[in-house]
């Protein structure tokens, strides 16, 4: 019995969420006047950068100006990716948000310009509007007539054949009228799958025959002494039974490209292996979408394309981006880098952030500053809650000092490690001794570099200048 109970408990776990580096981010943490709160929606500090990102967010939501580009520049571990995630969370599900790392473009089987084009079109949404004829009403009665031959055959008749042989009548009503509809086998089967019964309010799509159960009629709320927690009571529809309703579908231009590409087809959306899409296909789709816009059937939703580690792009990619941002349907481009003055990939020229000056001139630049000690303490406190780790106040102070002396990322990595060390000694709250233990077990960058400098002669391919003997030992 214990095993059966454990099995039933495990089946109740319908979803397992993994904790990521930015899973605690819920938005930008701004108030109605776009002022940054000290700590809100998982965002800590960086008030000037968050206020600037709030203005960019308003620009994206208006969707009137295309081809704007924003650069998030700052030292490693100052919250550039967190800002981009905050923008994505604040936009919601309606606005497309595509994210790509610059190094991905060089590891795909596609050309660099094709990969960038696909990324651009994943960030442009199309809201397609169409009118559908539906029948909406409250079910008064369902009567199904089974033919004599099928009734005599009983359980030996296949379900599909039995459904095809059935006929029936469905009585629907609104507050103004009541009508009886003749039912065929497919419609009877659809009603059976949805478990429609008298007193339900349903909607029938005339084109596809799809049955949607909207809920139970309020007039039938007293039919039963008790109902399930998921039972929804709705009003009986008003007016005529047959109505025309506007249905909105939201897709991206890239999805339309893949579906209309003969070489790949619809299944490529699930496999991810879309391959190169011909320019002719995209031109035809752009023409069709433009026609839909003129007719009022479709609406363009410019989204956001986020390119992380943008300094990894080469001069060809930057030239392509220069041209792509001038397109009428270009999304808002958000790029991030942690480089200073460095070489532009593919050239011998040096430039700020490794970005060509002509492309830098197009950018609105948002800078992030290093976190203060108080900010690091608040971030570590939020991460402890996110990772479900109870930590004492003294341990948090010690972890904050470690974060100030080393890096915020290293301090965050020690949270779960310290929790496991606490679990090993059968404790419930992480103490200072657990932090000290994992600090000794796992080195940060500074201590690791110091260790390498001390023992560099014992490593292979040592190239540190001033250490004779490393190369001689290898040659001998």
Structure tokens at 54: 């709030």
Rounded to whole angstroms, the Cα distance separating 194 from 422 reads: 51
What are the structural domain ranges in the chain?
Answer: 22-95+303-367, 130-145+165-247, 373-458
Question: Per CATH, which fold does 373-458 belong to?
Answer: Helicase, Ruva Protein; domain 3 (1.10.8)
Strand-strand pairing, 332-337 and 69-73: parallel
For the domain bounded by 130-145+165-247, which CATH number is listed? 2.40.50.360
Q: Which residues contact 44 (CB under 8 A, 6 or more apart)?
A: 38, 371, 375, 378, 379, 382
Beta bridge partners of residue 305, listed in sequence order: 98, 333
* Assigned fold of 22-95+303-367: Rossmann fold (3.40.50)
CB distance 46 to 78 below 8 Å: yes
Residue 13 makes CB contacts below 8 A (sequence gap 6+) with: none
Tens-level pLDDT at each residue, the chain (476 residues): 444 444 344 434 334 456 777 778 888 888 888 888 888 888 888 899 999 999 888 888 877 666 789 999 999 988 898 898 888 888 877 788 899 999 888 877 788 888 999 999 999 989 888 777 888 888 888 888 876 554 444 443 444 444 456 788 888 988 888 888 888 888 888 888 888 888 888 888 887 778 888 888 887 766 665 566 667 788 888 888 888 877 777 888 888 888 887 655 555 545 455 678 888 888 899 899 889 888 888 888 888 899 999 999 999 999 999 999 988 888 889 999 999 999 999 899 999 999 999 999 999 999 999 999 999 999 999 999 988 899 999 999 999 999 999 999 999 999 999 999 999 999 999 999 999 999 999 999 999 999 988 888 888 776 655 544 444 444 43
Residue/partner pairs of 221-224 with CB below 8 Å, 24 or more apart: 223/199
């Amino acid at each position: 019995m214990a095993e059966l109970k454990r099995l039933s408990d495990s089946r109740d776990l319908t979803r397992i969420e993994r904790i990521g580096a930015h899973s605690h981010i819920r938005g930008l943490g701004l108030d109605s006047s776009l002022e940054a709160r000290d700590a809100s929606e998982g965002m800590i500090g960086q008030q000037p950068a968050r206020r600037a990102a709030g203005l960019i967010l308003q620009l994206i939501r208006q969707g009137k100006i295309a081809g704007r580009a924003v650069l998030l520049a700052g030292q490693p571990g100052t919250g550039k990716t967190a800002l981009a995630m905050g923008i994505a969370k604040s936009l919601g599900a309606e606005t497309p948000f595509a994210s790509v790392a610059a190094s991905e473009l060089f590891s795909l089987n596609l050309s660099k310009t094709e990969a960038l084009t696909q990324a651009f079109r994943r960030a442009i949404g199309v809201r397609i509007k169409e009118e559908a004829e539906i029948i909406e009403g409250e079910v008064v009665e369902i009567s199904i007539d089974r033919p004599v031959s099928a009734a005599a055959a009983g359980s030996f008749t296949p379900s599909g054949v039995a459904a095809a042989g059935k006929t029936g009548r469905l009585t629907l009503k609104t507050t103004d009228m009541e009508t009886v509809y003749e039912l065929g086998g497919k419609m009877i089967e659809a009603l059976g799958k949805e478990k429609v019964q008298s007193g339900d309010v349903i909607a029938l799509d005339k084109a596809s025959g799809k049955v949607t159960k909207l809920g139970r009629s309020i007039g039938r709320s007293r039919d039963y002494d008790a109902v399930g927690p998921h039972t929804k009571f709705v009003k009986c529809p008003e007016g005529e039974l047959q109505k025309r309703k506007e249905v909105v579908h939201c897709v991206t231009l890239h999805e339309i490209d893949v579906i209309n590409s003969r070489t790949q087809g619809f299944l490529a959306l699930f496999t991810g292996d879309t391959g190169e899409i011909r320019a002719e296909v995209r031109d035809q789709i752009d023409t069709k979408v433009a026609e839909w816009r003129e007719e009022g059937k479709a609406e363009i939703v410019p989204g956001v394309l986020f390119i992380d580690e943008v300094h990894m792009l080469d001069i060809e990619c930057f030239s392509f981006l220069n041209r792509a941002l001038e397109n009428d349907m270009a999304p808002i481009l958000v790029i991030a880098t942690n480089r200073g003055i460095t070489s532009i990939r593919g050239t011998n020229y040096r430039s700020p952030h490794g970005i060509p000056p002509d492309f830098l001139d197009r950018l609105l630049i948002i800078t992030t500053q290093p976190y203060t000690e108080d900010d690091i303490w608040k971030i570590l406190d939020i991460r402890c809650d996110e990772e479900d780790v109870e930590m004492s106040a003294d341990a948090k102070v010690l972890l904050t000092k470690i974060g100030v002396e080393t890096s915020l990322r290293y301090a965050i990595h020690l949270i779960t490690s310290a929790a496991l060390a606490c679990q090993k000694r059968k404790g419930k709250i992480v103490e200072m001794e657990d932090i000290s233990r994992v600090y000794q077990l796992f080195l940060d960058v500074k201590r690791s570099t110091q260790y390498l400098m001390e023992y560099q002669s014992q490593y292979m391919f040592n190239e540190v200048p001033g250490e004779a003997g490393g190369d001689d030992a290898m040659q001998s």
